[in-house]
Amino acid sequence: MTDVISFDDFMKVDVRVGTIVEAEPFPEARKPAIKLKIDFGDAIGIKKSSAQITKHYTPGALVGQQVMAVVNFPPRQIGPMMSEVLTLGVPDADGEVVLLNPTLNVPNGGRLY
């Protein structure tokens, strides 16, 4: 069973939707990854993320896709890059990452609720 948290604790995690505007291979990462630049709208701007999503995604196919990400974690050094947001996904049957995204196009920066 997972730990129970309060709704106030949940609200501390700022999960927003953004559109991938750039994606490129990230060979310097320890595990295969793709460097992303994600536009979260005017209030948050464009943020960088490293995502281990090479099984199901190619950089070219990612541009224009909307994704969900945690935008209020501290930045984290991933190889030579500072990752500013945590792009969210869930495992497929083989444990490979499948990105979380809205089923309809929505404005960038929208908060999960």
pLDDT at position 2 over 90:
no
pLDDT of 110 reads 97
Measure the CA–CA gap between 99 and 81, rounded to whole angstroms: 21
pLDDT of 61 reads 95
Q: What is the value of pTM for the model shown?
A: 0.94
**Can you read off the two tokens belonging to residue 81?**
């890059």
pLDDT at position 1 over 90:
no
Q: Which CATH architecture has domain 7-99?
A: Beta Barrel (2.40)
Question: What count of residues does the chain have?
Answer: 113
